[in-house]
């Protein structure tokens, strides 16, 4: 159960980060201003922050059911390579990712499991994506997605995996909405090939404020 929860969180993190760091403009996308220039400019703004904390509400719609699955929690980021993802509702679950280790905890077992990064190449990939996201160096990885600009002010981008992209078998498209100040995301919507969809809204996002070290730990008191 713990590994399944961890894979779900890591998959969401991968989907959240991949589109922003791997994109190539499509023929039908606006040529002015250039999409790569847009992403580079947005990356410069993102690269300026050192810490971030935000609440999130995640809504999962399953194609075969009418009922929605809602998750609520908090995310804490700290440069250069530390992220904590805490789910509070409907169950308590936490994941901490650093450059050396992944630690996870859930209230069902009330135990912490530790996984060395060096022994899991998949987690290394996720960490690389996180590092790129922190740095804002989007222009260096424009490769695996077709990108369309759906709206400006605020920016809304649609990312469609191309044929070389491994996520093409699962993901149909990812739509990302930036905040008005362009420093972070407001919403991400993932449409899967199965017809399922996941929408994550970021709320009460605060940038460059002191974050208590206890939020970068996992356990029932966090």
CA-atom Rg of the chain in angstroms: 17
pLDDT for the residue numbered 55: 95
**Three-class SS of 123-158:** HHHHHHHHHHHHHCCHHHHCCCEEEEEEECCCCEEE
73 versus 139: the higher-pLDDT residue is 73
pLDDT-wise least confident of 25-39, 148-162, 174-188, 196-210: 25-39
Q: Which domains are seen in the chain, by residue range?
A: 2-213 (2.50.20.10)
Q: What percent of the chain has pLDDT over 70?
A: 73
- Percent helix, percent strand, percent coil in the chain, to nearest 5: 30, 40, 30
Q: What pLDDT score was predicted for residue 173?
A: 87
Which is higher by pLDDT, 17 or 194?
Answer: 194
Confidence of residue 29 (pLDDT cuts 50, 70, 90): very low
- Strand-pairing partners, residue 59, are 70, 199
Say if CB 216 and CB 84 are below 8 A apart.
yes
Please state, in angstroms and as integers, the Cα–Cα distance from residue 2 to each residue in 9, 11, 57, 92, following that order: 11, 14, 21, 12
Question: Average pLDDT, stretch 203-212?
Answer: 92
pLDDT tens-digit map of 150-177? 998 888 988 888 877 777 788 888 888 8
Element (H, E) at 7: helix 2-21
Q: What is the pLDDT of residues 69-98, one digit of tens each?
A: 899 999 998 887 788 989 999 989 998 988
Q: Which residue has the higher pLDDT, 47 or 26?
A: 47
């Amino acid at each position: 159960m713990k590994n399944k929860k961890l894979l779900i969180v890591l998959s969401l993190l991968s989907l959240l980060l991949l589109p922003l760091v791997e994109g190539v403009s499509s023929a039908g996308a606006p040529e002015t201003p250039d999409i790569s220039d847009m992403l580079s400019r947005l990356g410069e703004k993102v690269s300026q922050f050192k810490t971030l904390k935000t609440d999130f509400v995640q809504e999962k719609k399953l194609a075969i059911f009418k009922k929605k699955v809602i998750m609520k929690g908090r995310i804490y980021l700290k440069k250069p390579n530390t992220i904590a993802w805490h789910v509070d509702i409907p169950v308590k679950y936490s994941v901490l990712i650093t450059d050396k280790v992944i630690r996870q905890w859930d209230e069902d077992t009330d135990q912490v499991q530790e996984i060395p990064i060096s022994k899991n190449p998949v987690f290394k990939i996720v960490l690389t994506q996180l590092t790129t996201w922190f740095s804002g160096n989007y222009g260096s990885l424009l490769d695996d997605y077709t990108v369309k600009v759906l709206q400006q002010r605020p920016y809304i981008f649609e990312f469609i995996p191309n044929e070389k992209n491994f996520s093409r078998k699962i993901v149909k498209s990812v739509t990302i909405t930036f905040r008005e100040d362009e420093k972070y995301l407001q919403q991400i919507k993932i449409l899967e090939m199965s017809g399922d969809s996941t929408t994550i809204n970021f709320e009460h996002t605060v940038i460059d404020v002191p974050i208590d070290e206890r939020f970068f730990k996992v356990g029932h008191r966090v």
